[in-house]
Structure 1
Amino acid sequence: MTHEIHLELLLGKQVLDPTGKPVGRIEEIRAQQQGDEWLIQEYLIGNIALLERLSAWEIGLAILRRLGARKIYTGYTVPWQQMDLTDPQRPSLRCHPEELKSCQKSTT
């Protein structure tokens, strides 16, 4: 069964872990074209993902360097199968954040 969700409505939505604790917001969605369809590969959540979505890495990292930041650990890469979109207004993880790949960037 195919289930369609308007992706633009997911951007900025707070994602909860299985216990109901906020993990971050959906800031980027990666998809791959297969034939006439686009299939979701993964969701990026957190501040790091926002910089990626806005293609603002260089500017963002320069600002963070000026503010004295060395490393940023505020984001996760969530495989499509680990995101529960049963209620698109309240997306949640099917696993604990510790099980996900962290998005990590260094300002150096």
Structure 2
Amino acid sequence: MMANEIHLELLLGKTVLDSTGKAIGRIEEVRASKQGEEWIVQEYLIGYAAILERLSAWTVGLGILHLLGAHKIHSGYTIPWDKLDLTDPNKPRLRCSLDELKSLSQQPEDAE
């Protein structure tokens, strides 16, 4: 395995820490694109909303939550690949502030 390669299955479920060491969520999904023969990670999804996306159940899941009375749903973030420090894959850390991340409640594009 090359130095810049990490097995994604080992990252799933890992808790992401912010710059102060506070847990902000677990890696639940990874978005990548194929470039030639390689897959290149574009972003990581963390939090409960990421679980719904991982299960391809975003629209249905949100509908059920609204029926149950949840009006403001925010429980996840999208982390661009270059904003996550994986120097220690067992303890991934943000390279930016939490304010710089996109909320999953503002996504996904295909949920509309």
Q: TM-score, normalised by structure 2?
A: 0.87
Cα deviation digits, residues 45-66 of structure 1 (max 9, x gap): 1111110001112332233123
Give the distance between the partners of 1:61 and 1:104, measured in 2 at CA.
10
Give the match for residue 69 of structure 1.
Answer: 70
| 1:1-108 correspondence to structure 2 within 5 Å | 2-104=3-105
Give the distance between the partners of 2:22 and 2:66, measured in 1 at CA.
30
| SS of aligned partner of 2:24 | strand
Per the TM alignment, residue 2 of structure 1 is displaced from its structure 2 partner at its CA by: 4.9
Q: TM-score, normalised by structure 1?
A: 0.90
| SS of aligned partner of 2:79 | strand
| Count of paired positions | 106
| SS of aligned partner of 1:64 | helix
Cα deviation digits, residues 5-42 of structure 1 (max 9, x gap): 11011111110001100111111100011111111100
Runs of 4+ in 1 over 4 A off after TM superposition: none
Identity %: 65
Give the distance between the partners of 1:76 and 1:65, measured in 2 at CA.
20
Give the distance between the partners of 2:103 and 2:81, measured in 1 at CA.
15
Gaps of 5+ in 1: none
One-letter amino acid of the counterpart of residue 87, structure 1: D
Could you say what the CA RMSD is over the residues aligned between the two structures, in angstroms? 1.6
Gaps of 5+ in 2: 108-112
